Amino acid sequence: MKQRYVPDIAQFGAICEANYFRLSKLVADREAGSEVTYSLHNHTAYLGLIRIKVLESSRYTNLLFLEQVHAIGRWVNNPQLTVRIYHDARMAEVISAVNHARVEAVNDYPNGKMHLPDEKLQLNQFLSEWLNYCLHHGHSTEELRDL
């Protein structure tokens, strides 16, 4: 009998905390409706743009929409994530993705949409790697904040 997936809360929390600090550097203290864009480069190759838009802003949370827009080629999957930032907990987590209206913490497997059991963990890990790449290879007209 196959065992049900049990999320590793410590690992998930560590990823969400790291994403909070990465986003703090990239977005800073922006109001709802504001947007920041980073141009991505890998040595001499232009890889497109990352747009981060603040959808909602309150005292304890922010809601962000992140998307990558590629300059060339439509064959590349352009990621789009909605991320909730929790300022009091200093965490940021993916709450929806391009084809997921709501990302569940655990999915039964198999399921009709073929979501993986640990899809939420994987999306947050992807966000971590994406933000890290943006911090190291992104170019903006604004300065990054030091924390």
pLDDT tens-digit profile of 81-105? Answer: 999 999 999 999 999 887 766 676 6
pLDDT tens-digit profile of 49-91? Answer: 889 999 999 989 999 999 988 755 555 678 889 999 999 999 9
* Domain ranges for the chain: 9-139
Q: Pull the structure tokens for residue 112.
A: 């009709």
pLDDT band at 147 (very low <50, low <70, confident <90, very high): very low
pLDDT at residue 128 greater than cutoff 80: yes
Q: How far is CA 124 from the centre of its chain?
A: 6
- Return the closest-CA partner of residue 82 out of 51, 108, 59: 51
pLDDT tens-digit profile of 3-24? Answer: 777 778 899 899 999 999 999 9
* Omega before 117 within 30 of 0, i.e. cis: no
